Structure 1
Amino acid sequence: MKSKAVLTQTETSQILAAARQEALANAWAVSIAIVDDGGHLLAFERLDGASPISSYISMEKARTSALGRRESKGYEEMVNGGRTAFLSAPLLTSLEGGVPVIVDGQVIAAVGVSGVRSDQDAQVAKVGIAALNTD
């Protein structure tokens, strides 16, 4: 039997705070979603000025990353490379901005961000994850 880490509310809040700080420092109005490894919502925040649709998209980016065990950017690259069948895959959004949280080689959660350019969304997610102390 294997054991794996899980995010507590403390770590979830730490990720959310760092992601929020990165978005605010760049004046980016985004929505930030954090999900567990099954794609279930742990935390969510829509910053002032973020569009309503960014709420849904950020959650789907996080879910895509958690369930796919990779950055959602990989699916965007597949679609852009001609594999358009991924557009109809269930529970997937083929947009950059979903990033897995990996501890000891296992995906334990994911962060999804939406509201600005996809690479900027991913930047916010990665800064949030980087704030997680996994030592």
Structure 2
Amino acid sequence: MITRKGLTLDDVQKIAAAAEAEAKKNDWKVSIAITDDGGHLLHFQRLDGAPVQSTWISQGKAKAAAFSRKPTKNLEDIVGNGRNAFLSVPDLVLLEGGEPILVDGICIGGVGVSGVTSAQDAQIAQAGIAVLG
């Protein structure tokens, strides 16, 4: 048997609050999703004015980051560099803005953000994760 770390409700609330603060500081209207390491939704919020499609995209980014254990920018680059077969992977959003939550090198979840530019989405996700130290 292995013992592994996981996100608590307190952790998720801290990540969500920090991500929301980063978005509001920049007046960015986004949706924020947080998943566990299996891509299961633990938290979701859509800030006022966030695009409707950002609800689905943010959740897909969080799931993709948790599944792949990598920032979704890496997955977007795989496709951008011509590996179109990677598009056949089901149910993942292969756009920058999803970040894995890593603790001691182990993925315990993902944060996905959508609503502004992909780089800004990633900035918000990273700000959320940073509160874990």
TM-score (normalizing by structure 2): 0.97
- Amino acid in the other structure paired with 1:111: V
Distance between the aligned counterparts of 1:33 and 1:50, measured in 2?
13
Distance between the aligned counterparts of 1:30 and 1:88, measured in 2?
27
85-94 or 50-59: bigger deviation: 85-94
Deviation at 1:88, TM superposition (A): 2.3
Computed over aligned residues only, the root mean square deviation of the Cα atoms, in angstroms, reads 0.8
Tell me if the contact between 1:38 and 1:66 (Cα under 8 Å) persists in the aligned partners: yes
Deviations 1:27-47 (A, max 9, x none): 100000000000000001000
Structure 1 stretches (4+) deviating beyond 2 angstroms?
none
Tell me if the contact between 1:86 and 1:94 (Cα under 8 Å) persists in the aligned partners: no
SS at match of 2:109: strand
> Which ranges in structure 1 are unaligned for 5 or more consecutive residues?
none
SS at match of 2:107: strand
Distance between the aligned counterparts of 1:19 and 1:30, measured in 2?
10
- Amino acid in the other structure paired with 1:13: Q
Q: What residue number does 1:81 align with?
A: 81
Q: What residue number does 1:115 align with?
A: 115
Q: What residue number does 1:52 align with?
A: 52
TM-score (normalizing by structure 1): 0.96
> Which ranges in structure 2 are unaligned for 5 or more consecutive residues?
none
Alignment pair present for 1:36 and 2:36: yes
59-68 or 82-91: bigger deviation: 82-91
Deviations 1:71-110 (A, max 9, x none): 1111100111011112221122110001000011110011
% identical aligned pairs? 54
Deviation at 1:21, TM superposition (A): 0.2
Q: What residue number does 2:99 align with?
A: 99
Distance between the aligned counterparts of 2:79 and 2:97, measured in 1?
15
Q: What residue number does 1:18 align with?
A: 18
